[in-house]
Structure 1
Amino acid sequence: MTFVMAILWMTSLLLLLTNRRSPAVRWLSLVAFCGGIGALASVMESWIVAYESSAAALETKVLLLRRLQRGCSWISYYGLPYSYLLFAAGYHTEAIPRRVAKILPYAALIPPIIMLGVPIADHLPVPYGPLACWAIPYSVLGTLIIITKRATHPAERRAHLIVTAAVLPAVLFAVAMNYILPVLGVYRMWRYNVWSIPVGFGIFVVSLFKYGFLGVQLMIERRRLDSSMRAITSGTAMMNHAIKNDIAKIKLFAEHMGRSTAGAGNREDAAVIVRAAEHIEAMIRSVHERTQELVLSPEVVNVEELVRRQTEAVTVAAEAAGVHIIYQEEHAGIEVFADVAQTEEAIHNVLRNALEAMPRGGQLTIIVSGGKRGAMVAIRDTGSGIERHNLLKVTEPFFTTKSGKEMNFGLGLAYSSQLMNRQGGELRIASEWGSGTEVTFSFPSLKRSIKRRQAAAAGKSAEKARGCEEGVRQ
């Protein structure tokens, strides 16, 4: 059981370190922690037996170890169904009304608290009969909430399947061994949890690095991308400073040559030099603009108006390419907190990419939807799509599948992804080779965005105040 304890606590710690802001991740981390505490209780049993058999055993120490073991058993037996139910509620948020979800952590805690006052037989770790009356319904209800979640996005369906495969078998097997069989008089079956838990852990580890698990891989990728963008920002700033002065000199002297040279051929040569210098300047400016540290000026904005403006901006180009645009607004009056200019630039960039993916015509579908939980802008094309091995790289700086295009540096989607992350949202990309690509801008709710902005401002103020205090002390 030591191995089971280690992998459960490793899972719990990894989940918290990488995505502790997600309620579902926090509750799942507690599920793993409670399971690990149960494994610790079984390990302590072997310690106590070994200590009791020694000549130096003291009754008071044995009694203390027994109490600690019983405490671990209570945390495991009472905490597992409780945290599992709340994980299900946090994972499938649409299954429970918001008001119920707010009071659920407190209401669901009542049976475990009551259990602390229920008498326990000396030879049992917990009162299995009363425990089964609420622990089994909690587990069944949590499972129903999880399996009834319906994901429409292909990536979300895969993520849901991974979570179901990693969590449900291990938890349900533990429920059968720890709660159901003891009621039927079959005890100490928890020993067989060593079969199911490593399987779930294996699925968790493999999916974590290959596909992602509850957004954990996404957090790792975001941190790596932020680091890359900071390095690129610094590098391009130096490059821009070093090159632009020399380019200005080339232009100046080329223009002077064009004015002072009598021969028509020499003037044409000078004009070529000027155009080449202007082209290099434009490339440097484009790279420099896309790799600057994002400074946001967010405000409350109507999503439909924002998307509609960018749709109108590409209408002429779409007609020229033979692309039919389908624009849908599933909800009206959706407002988000975002930087208008930069968000428009990001959406325009994705629309332009979609048109470039359909040079022989096709269909461009734009869907704006949302509600109290936030807003989504989905842009779907019927182009050639993105190959699977490239799909995870498209938001990396300087990665592009359009290497033959002029002025294309592979910074558009990296910029868009970084922008959405900074605004508390997400850029999701799904594609199938030969079927097209769908890019989704997911914005947080207006209320959540404003709270996030206020919290960030409060943090900066506190940091500034601490800096002032340190300066005064020095």
Structure 2
Amino acid sequence: MLVVWAVLWIAALMMVVINRHSAAFRWLGLVAFCGGTGALASVMESWITTYEADPDGLHTAAMLRHVQQGCSWTSYYGLPYAYLLFGAGYHPNVIPARLSKLLPWAALIPIVIMLPLPINGGYPVSYLPLACWAIPYMLIGTGLVLTKRVNHPAERRAHLIVTAAVLPAVLFALAMNYTMPLFGVYRLWRYNVWSIPIAFLIFITSLFKYGFMGVQLMIERRRLDYSLRAITSGTAMLNHAIKNDMAKIKLFADKIKRGGAEDVDLQQDAAVIIRSAEHIEAMIRSVHERTQELVLQASLVDLASLIQTQITMLRPAAQDAKVTVILNVPEHASPILIIADAAQTEEAIRNVLNNALEAMAGGGQLTITLTGGKRGSILEVSDTGHGIERHHLHKVTEPFFTTKGSSRTMNFGLGLAYSSQLMNRQGGELRIRSEWGRGTTVTFSFPAVKRSIQLSWKQGVSNVGTTDTNTNHARGG
């Protein structure tokens, strides 16, 4: 049990340290901590026996008994509680947002009720009332983990690793610690020494080789971080060279716009040039010149409006490539709002759109689908191009990986790496599905915006509209 205690507390510490911002990681760390506390209670038995054999150590033995009882309660009560909340954090979309906030408090009610209950027979807990809520908690947590659906191959592998590392150990504890005592069979918790080291071995191996719940400790991960720092540093180096030329582009585009006042097409082309120049300037400003991370300037953004702007800029290139662009936007009038860095999100979407056009050199169909709901907003970009081979799919978000030429075509394999990092930084996710010869779908998943923020935004827009109307009336408009 000494090994089990050490293994579980090491695992708990690692999970809290490497990704303390993830709710699922924190709750899983608590699961490991509670399991380790139960092992500590077992280890303490030999310490207490030693002190009880010495008349001078009876007081110390009594104190240790109280500590041991506290460890047993922490293990028996804390394990199912933490595991239920881990399942809720690992598969958050299945639980309504309001319920997920109340769940940690509501799940404490059975524990609070059990604490004052008398315990008879020398056992650490009353097993019958404990089983009434602990077993359902652990079964619900298991159901939440098993029902999570993932599409990306790398995500499927990560999900299988989590399932293999967590579920066998927890279900074994469910049988030994909570179920068998109902049939009068006790102290089977000693056999947890079989399942827990195996689970820890899977956890450590996957953490370094494949990743565990999105966290990976390996040389390639360090190379990824170093490469992304190189991207931003390179942008800073180019800042001085680009900004002067951007000023020239804007100057002459404005001159073209003023000179072709009667030519509608020329006006639109000049507006696109100015918009592109402004976008490049915004991108340069948004990257810290001497830091290693992208600096985000988050704001409330109308995603549909942002997409419409990108399609307007993309349409000439799509026509030249004989690509049909289809935009699917919900018919309801309510805007789809996200909290994001507008300039950098535009750049990420533009990277994906350009990749889609390049994949359809002989023509095809580009479908852009936008959906919004209480759980977040989804932007899907689907093309009918050549697709991505399966063995390349997990590499496409790595910096400098590309299946295209680089020196002449200016494809450096940075677009999807940048886009993926940006979405992660904004609390969202970039997913890629592809089938060789049939096309690719890239999904941008944005987190939900609080309803109060949406109402405030809509009220602000309404006030602006009212002000404009009143102004027009005052002018006789």
TM-score by length of 1: 0.75
1:222-237 superposed matches below 5 A: 225-234=224-233, 237=236
Contact 1:388 1:433 in 2 (8 A): yes
Which moves more between the two structures, 25-34 or 195-204? 195-204
Gaps of 5+ in 1: 245-284, 452-474
Supply the AA of the counterpart residue of 2:131: A
CA distance in 2, matches of 1:449, 1:367: 26
Supply the AA of the counterpart residue of 1:26: R
Supply the AA of the counterpart residue of 1:344: E
Change (3 A) 1:179 1:198: same
CA distance in 2, matches of 1:290, 1:221: 30
CA distance in 2, matches of 1:214, 1:116: 34
Which residue among 422, 426, 430 is the counterpart of 1:427? 430
- Report the equivalent of 1:342: 344
Describe the superposition over 1:413-463 as per-residue Cα deviations: whole angstroms up to 9, x where unpaired. 233234334433333334455554332222222339979xxxxxxxxxxxx
CA distance in 1, matches of 2:310, 2:151: 26
Count of matched residue positions in the alignment of Structure 1 and Structure 2: 410
- Report the equivalent of 1:47: 47
Which residue among 449, 452, 475 is the counterpart of 1:446? 449
Which moves more between the two structures, 293-302 or 303-312? 293-302
Describe the superposition over 1:203-238 as per-residue Cα deviations: whole angstroms up to 9, x where unpaired. 333433444332323999888655543345446655
Supply the AA of the counterpart residue of 2:9: W
CA distance in 2, matches of 1:388, 1:56: 71
CA distance in 2, matches of 1:441, 1:421: 10
- Report the equivalent of 2:26: 26
CA distance in 2, matches of 1:416, 1:163: 26
Supply the AA of the counterpart residue of 2:429: E
- Report the equivalent of 2:83: 84
- Report the equivalent of 2:114: 115
Measured after TM superposition, the shift of residue 411 of structure 1 is: 2.7
Identical amino acids, percent of aligned pairs: 64
Supply the AA of the counterpart residue of 2:18: T
Change (3 A) 1:435 1:171: farther
Supply the AA of the counterpart residue of 2:229: R
Describe the superposition over 1:354-398 as per-residue Cα deviations: whole angstroms up to 9, x where unpaired. 111222334433221222232121223343333455444433443
- Report the equivalent of 1:370: 372
- Report the equivalent of 2:418: 415
CA distance in 2, matches of 1:314, 1:235: 26
- Report the equivalent of 1:399: 401
Which moves more between the two structures, 143-152 or 333-342? 143-152
Task: Indicate whether 1:361 and 2:360 are aligned.
Answer: no
Supply the AA of the counterpart residue of 2:416: L
Task: Indicate whether 1:143 and 2:145 are aligned.
Answer: no
Contact 1:366 1:378 in 2 (8 A): yes
1:158-237 superposed matches below 5 A: 158-217=157-216, 225-234=224-233, 237=236
Which moves more between the two structures, 336-345 or 380-389? 380-389
Supply the AA of the counterpart residue of 1:356: E
Secondary structure of 1:410's match?
coil
Contact 2:286 2:296 in 1 (8 A): no
Gaps of 5+ in 2: 243-279, 289-293, 455-477
- Report the equivalent of 2:132: 133
Supply the AA of the counterpart residue of 2:338: V
Describe the superposition over 1:26-50 as per-residue Cα deviations: whole angstroms up to 9, x where unpaired. 1111111101111111111233334
Change (3 A) 1:387 1:289: farther
CA distance in 2, matches of 1:435, 1:211: 28
Secondary structure of 1:118's match?
coil
Secondary structure of 1:364's match?
strand
